[in-house]
A = this chain, B = another copy of it.
């Protein structure tokens, strides 16, 4: 069997993130090898023509500090469509409307936090006042949407664009997406605080959400594209939704990356290897894919920074 030696990694002061990832590639095994492969694949996703670029996001990644990285992917068109959870949208809008997430203090108990109006997301905090502010502002957004549209029913991607257009925050993912014609899908929208407010608003006003429109749009988009590449940050609805569209349309993914800490053995889709998706016709047999077993807040910034560096290097080549 041909020999493909592991080169021992070397690090030094001042090395760039791209250089670090190159060292990881020399070793090429365990987690480091997978992270390198993720950069290789993501570089191809964003460099090749005719690849439709999807990023699926599950988990509390806005409190986790990923908001501007996702926003910059949108601004740089390193993604064509985001698939987010309702919680992701809620957290994004909390910040877009001017409130903030906070670093938590471990020693305060959860019952005590409740008494002072603080909600905990592992070691991050978000205050009741943020959600109260969210409630007022999101109602204004809903009201500002043309009533006919609201009566006909909007797909989640249409609602996201409508809201995105109204925002004043240039760091907003939704605003940047609306401006750059990047679609944002939220197929689990009713499973979120945002969804609760849609329901409450619709008690006294017109506001219909028609999730069949999302499926239609997603499927049309798959049909229009030659190749598909997806990055999954966590599993959940965004991963399943993106993969099932691939299955339905017969446009299996050409490139796929997932970053997760979930395990495959219990059988759930969130922890399932992307390899399994090949049996479903969701990922091509010849696709390039990798499962990175890592905390997204560590691996994703590393992957994006290294990919950006490679793109710049390439431009600078004579």
What is the interface of chain A, defined by CB distance below 8 A to chain B?
1, 3-18, 20, 23-24, 26-33, 35, 58-69, 72, 87, 95, 100-105, 108, 110-111, 113-114, 116, 118-124, 171, 187-188, 190-193, 195-196, 198-199, 202, 208-212, 214-216, 234, 236-237, 240-241, 244, 248, 261-272, 275-281, 285, 293-299, 301-302, 304-305, 308-309, 311-312
Contacts and interface: CB of A to CB of B under 8 A. Distances in A.
A32 B110 contact: no
Nearest to A73: B11
Counted per complex, copies of this chain come to 4
A14 B11 contact: no
Given A14-B312, A122-B276, A209-B211, A31 B298 contact: yes
A33 B102 CA distance: 12
Contact of A270 (B9, B13, B192, B236): B236
Given A4-B102, A5-B101, A265-B295, 12 more contacts: A5-B103, A10-B72, A13-B312, A29-B123, A30-B297, A58-B268, A111-B278, A113-B279, A118-B279, A124-B267, A187-B188, A196-B244
Contact of A29 (B124, B192, B277, B302): B124
Contacts of A59: 266-269
A290 to B, nearest CB: 12
Contacts of A62: 8
A24 to B, nearest CB: 7
Given A241-B191, A266-B59, A272-B122, A6 B298 contact: no
Contact of A266 (B15, B16, B261): B261
Contact of A6 (B103, B209, B294): B103
Given A30-B297, A60-B269, A196-B248, A69 B10 contact: yes
A34 to B, nearest CB: 8
Given A59-B267, A60-B269, A65-B8, A285 B111 contact: yes
The 9 closest A-B CB pairs, nearest first, are A27-B65, A31-B295, A59-B268, A111-B285, A32-B297, A110-B278, A13-B308, A11-B305, A13-B312
